[in-house]
Amino acid sequence: MTKRRRDKVTMETTIRERGTKNRKHYFRTLAQLHMQTYTPARLHSCTPAPMHACTHARLHAFTLTELLTVVAIIAILMGLIFAFYRPSQEQRKVFECQNRLVVIHRALRMYSLDWDGFPASPYDSLDNDKDGRFDEDTPDGDNDNDGQFDEDPVNFRDDDGDGQIDEDPPIDNDGDKRFNEDEVDAQVGGLLALDQYLRSKRTLICPADHRAIGVVPDRYSSYQGCDTGTDFFSPSFPTIGSQQGVCAQANGTPTYAITRFLPGNPCHPSSSLFTTNQCSDPDKMRQLGIRNTKPLAPNPSVPDDATVVTWCVHHRYVPRTTSPNYVKGGVPADLVLYWDGQVRIQMMVTPDQAWRRKPTSQ
């Protein structure tokens, strides 16, 4: 024990013995003793080497280990936040896409009530003469008996019923007071012909569709194109004939089309064999085009409620990659719109089977 320590112990013992007689004096003297131990005069006991440890600033600083620990914790938290944030963003896009498909369904319902049919897409066979048959007959006939079928510019037809014979452009099919100047008419515009039934054309664009960036809204819809499984491309305008063959060559299937069979197939809605045993396909009534067969069929049928109207392919993969994005059962998923108004999230299938999906499918 050092001399200073022994002196302090001796003094404390003496004060304690005397304090029994004067308790107030005891506590005051003891406090003075402890204050004397930590007065600045006694700071000389800190040698110059460890002097920095006695300063006030050093007592409140962080060590390198502490800083690295805090940085590591922040990095882990940011990683967890990002891991939960990205799926939530994709889920928001899925919900918004579902709502847009519901609005499209309502617009198609109103269109069918007004026009007693559905707007044919560029992937459908065209019914240019409006006789309910899709390209099985020569388009508009040879009305001037010159042996040419619409090859010549004059067939003495008053297609729009204005009393003028071929002086004006043909027909204003979509009722927009423009005669094919916009190159999109109800006969071939498909979903683009619904613009009068929608508050905004942006309804036809999926929020997850990166292909829609910079495109002309009047010529593009995320829900009308050729689905090849790993890619999606839209039809070209102006349309002068069915583009179904182009899609078939790419091993794809149109997402929106009112006919699902080629012209000449007994199951094509305009075929006279449609109601016979020649067409035995169980999905023949799952075509919107069966509503468009008037006057060929005076009493056209209503499409089955399980008819696939269209589907959205833009949630399958991370944009510009083949990495799965939104999945169901471990498989990239589609949003499928049915004629009864349901929008189902279902697993991706091969393009040729996409329109044959049913609401009860996975």
For tokens 């502490």, what's the residue? 66
pLDDT in tens, the chain (362 residues): 566 667 666 766 665 665 555 555 656 665 665 555 544 544 444 455 554 445 554 556 788 888 999 999 998 888 777 666 666 778 889 999 999 999 999 999 998 888 888 888 888 875 555 554 554 444 444 555 555 544 445 555 555 455 555 544 444 544 555 444 444 444 568 898 888 899 988 899 999 998 888 776 678 999 999 999 989 988 877 666 678 778 888 899 999 999 898 877 888 887 878 888 889 999 999 999 888 777 667 677 889 999 999 999 999 998 878 888 888 888 999 999 999 999 999 999 999 999 999 998 88
Please give the backbone phi and psi of residue 189, each rounded to the nearest 5 degrees, phi first. Answer: -80, -20
Q: Where are the domains of the chain?
A: 1-36, 98-135+185-354
C-alpha span between 205 and 223 (Å, rounded): 7
Q: At what angle do helices 23-37 and 3-19 cross, to 10 degrees?
A: 160
C-alpha span between 236 and 243 (Å, rounded): 8
Torsion over CA of 241, 243, 244 and 249, rounded to 10 degrees? 130
C-alpha span between 284 and 276 (Å, rounded): 11
Which pTM was predicted? Answer: 0.65
| Contact predicate 187/159, CB 8 Å | no
DSSP three-state, residue 338: strand
